[in-house]
Structure 1
């Protein structure tokens, strides 16, 4: 269970599987920078030319433990090797993920740019690791085709709910997907799905549309907006 609402969740976009990191890091920093350039102008000297925003990045350093220690915050506790195999699989299959930091407005589409792990001081009960994430932006290309006969329009299939869907929520918020920490009620609230936990009692986590986690609700309590 996330402590004080703080928790780090990673959702694999390929199958909507969400995993909470078991031990919260002592700090998390988000790096934002722009592609500024400088040039020298006669009679002015060096000037700055403002550039576009570069891809943001986040680095997380923590540990995977063999035992459920008192500082483990995740309810869905796994062995270090299970976490390692899952993260390596995402990296090897070139999947992108949704990184959500509970208790904050940080919810970004990222890729795992670097994953380093190992044993410190030969202590086999604990794996130290560093995860580096880089913002993922999908490149979109517009294909220009020659004019063709208009196609017959068919009814669009019904939309399916998933991570990123905008929904209307009517139900009580909970701190985790098992129903702990019952909180406020949402009534006709417009929210966004940030991650899913299939098979759990409260499998849908929602946030404000523009960021900011709200909590877990039943699937029957949400509908597409």
Structure 2
């Protein structure tokens, strides 16, 4: 049987290969149908026009020490190595979970290739073994959608109905939606992992905020678009 490897690709197209493929990989979904009692007929199944979101549960074993390759590892191109390289993988998974990242998940040599969000995440050590992280993930399929914008409508009594608008940030304070100028490098996550491109006087919009992190602001070319995480001192308000 061909060897399989597990890959995650983030929103800025950085791909991470996990050191070890999970021993079990369970994919589940249901039809979203409902049972209904009908008089003089009994119970029937009312069919749903669409299936429920697909869910995946898996357990990842991640060695803390990635300095010396082991025969049972499936990963060929690890992003982090060294005595504590495995800790970076755990931090990355946790960050994706907290920030609700939309990820492409691929299991090679299988048909499994789709977009998911990490909806549940736990990590720790088991059976007294502190040399290997055990991370349990619940992945839920991502469906792209666009909210419907309600047009402003004037009623007979001249009262104007307005859609709810987002609260603006206080003057001089950077927050989600702020227009900024970027002079610096972008990173794959708010911890400063995965250094990317460096920009000079680039107009950006703040899309996410992670207070207290090394890279507290995520910026992109427009609202809802992502380029990467940056240091606070590398951006200023336009």
Q: TM-score, normalised by structure 1?
A: 0.59
Q: Flag structure 1 segments of 5+ consecutive residues without an equivalent.
A: 147-197, 199-225
Residue in 1 that maps onto 2:77: 76
Residue in 1 that maps onto 2:109: 103
Distance in 1, matches of 2:88 and 2:134, equals 14
Residue in 1 that maps onto 2:39: 42
Residue in 2 that maps onto 1:4: 2
Residue in 2 that maps onto 1:30: 27
Q: Size of the alignment, in residue pairs? A: 144
Q: Deviations over 1:136-173 (max 9, x none)?
A: 11221344769xxxxxxxxxxxxxxxxxxxxxxxxxxx
1:93 equivalenced with 2:105 (yes/no): no
Distance in 2, matches of 1:114 and 1:143, equals 31
Q: Deviations over 1:156-214 (max 9, x none)?
A: xxxxxxxxxxxxxxxxxxxxxxxxxxxxxxxxxxxxxxxxxx9xxxxxxxxxxxxxxxx
Q: 1:62 to 1:143 in 2, by over 3 A?
A: closer
1:122 Cα deviation from its structure 2 partner? 2.0
Q: Secondary structure at the match of 1:85?
A: helix
* Larger Rg belongs to: 2
Q: Flag structure 2 segments of 5+ consecutive residues without an equivalent.
A: 153-195, 197-238
Q: Secondary structure at the match of 1:10?
A: strand
Q: What are the equivalent positions in structure 2 for 1:110-125 lying under 5 Å apart?
A: 110-125=116-131
RMSD over aligned CA atoms reads: 2.0
Residue in 2 that maps onto 1:139: 145
Q: TM-score, normalised by structure 2?
A: 0.56
Query: RCO greater where, 1 or 2, for CA within 8 Å and sep 6 or more?
Result: 1
Q: Secondary structure at the match of 1:80?
A: helix
Q: Secondary structure at the match of 2:15?
A: strand
